Amino acid sequence: MYRVQRSSQQEAEMATATANRIDADLDAQSPAADLVRVYLNGIGKTALLSAADEVELAKRIEAGLYAQHLLDTRKRLGERRRAELAAVVREGSAARSHLLEANLRLVVSLAKRYTGRGMPLLDLIQEGNLGLIRAMEKFDYTKGFKFSTYATWWIRQAITRGMADQSRTIRLPVHLVEQVNKLARIKREMHQQLGREATDEELSEESGIPVEKIADLLEHSRDPVSLDMPVGSDEEAPLGDFIEDSEAMSAENAVISELLHTDIRYVLATLDEREQQVIRLRFGLDDGQPRTLDQIGKLFGLSRERVRQIEREVMVKLRHGDRADRLRSYAS
C-alpha cells in the first residue's frame, strides 16, 4: 500500500490548474511571459504518472545505473553482454527523463507560491528543477512513498536555498533566511489575528525565537534601496538627493570651522617652534590624536614637568592680547 496524500488524478488537476492560472496571470506584452508560456505548453504534453508507473520507472532507472556500473568496472564482458547492458542503460536514461518530465508541473505549482519575493518565476522554476533532479537521485521506491510526495520537500528546499543565494542584494546565510521568512509569516498571521502589529515579545512567544533576536531578524527582512533610484513624477532626481546626511556639517558650521582653523594657524605662528609643536601634539591639531605629557617629553628629550610648564606658559600667552581677541568669539 502506497502512502499518498492525494490521488494522481487530484495531483494532475491541481498541477494543470496551477499552470493555467499562471498562464492567465501573465502580462501579454512581457517577453518573459512568452518564455513562461512556451515552457508551460511544453511540460503539459507529458501525462502524469500513477504510483505504479513511478515504481516501474524507478526500477528501470535503478537497473540502468547498475548496468552502467557493470560496463564501467567489468573489463572482460563479451560484445553481446555489453550490448545488452547498453540497452538497459538507455532504458534507464529514458525512464529518468520520463519521470522528470512528468513532474515538471509539480515544480511550477510549488514555484508559483514563491513569486514576488525577489526572483522571477522562471528562475524559481529552474531552482525547483534542480531539487527535482536531486529527489530522483535520492528516491527509494521500496519505502512506499509516492515520488511526487517525496520530491515536494526537495523542490521546496532547492527553491528557498536559491532565493537565499540570489534574491537579496546582500546575501544572508540560508539558516538566517529561513528564520527571517518564518518570522515574517508569523508576523503577517498575528497582524490578521490581532488587528495590529505584534510586539517583539509576542512574536518571540509565538515563534520560539529569543526576543533579543527579533529586532535583528526584522531588520534583515527589509530589502535595501539604491540611493540612485529615480523618484518623483518625472523620475529625474535620485532618491539620495532627498535623504539628509545626519553626519554632514552644515554650510554655516563648515565656514566657521575653516575660519577657526585659519585663526589657530595664525595664533600658533606667533609662538616659537618648540611651543608650536608642543601645543599641536598636546591637542592633536594635526592628526586628531592628542599626546600625553610623557609622550611629548620623550619626543623632545624633556621631562614630563617641563612639557607641562611649556603648555602652561603658552596658554597664558593665548589668553591675552591679539591672540585672545582672535579666538574669543569661537568660545561663545
| Residues pairing with 136 in the sheet | none
State the Cα torsion 50-140-75-78 to the nearest 10°.
-30
Least confident stretch, 76-80, 110-114, 249-253, 266-270: 249-253
User: Grid coordinates 532626481 are at which residue?
Assistant: 237
Report the chain's terminal Cα–Cα distance, integer Å: 90
- Set out the domains of the chain in order of their start, with CATH numbers: 8-167 (1.20.120.1810), 170-223 (1.10.10.10), 258-331 (1.10.10.10)
Tens digits of per-residue pLDDT, 229-253? 787 666 677 877 777 666 666 777 7
For the segment 83-110, the average pLDDT, to the nearest whole number, is 92
Q: Are strands 237-238 and 230-231 parallel, antiparallel or unpaired?
A: antiparallel
Tens digits of per-residue pLDDT, 304-323? 999 999 999 988 888 887 77
Range list of H helices, 103-250: 104-111, 121-138, 147-166, 174-194, 200-207, 211-220
- The answer to whether the beta carbons of residues 243 and 249 sit under 8 Å apart is no
Which DSSP string do the residues of 249-303 spell out, in sequence order? Answer: PPHHHHHHHHHHHHHHHHHHTTS-HHHHHHHHHHHTTTTS-PPPHHHHHHHHT--
Least confident stretch, 59-73, 127-141, 159-173: 159-173
Q: Nearest-CA neighbor of 64 among 84, 82, 91, 83? A: 91
For the segment 165-194, the average pLDDT, to the nearest whole number, is 78
pTM (predicted TM-score)? 0.52
Q: What is the rounded average pLDDT for all residues in the chain?
A: 81
Q: Nearest-CA neighbor of 42 among 94, 110, 102, 99? A: 102
pLDDT band (50, 70, 90) for residue 6:
very low
pLDDT band (50, 70, 90) for residue 134:
very high
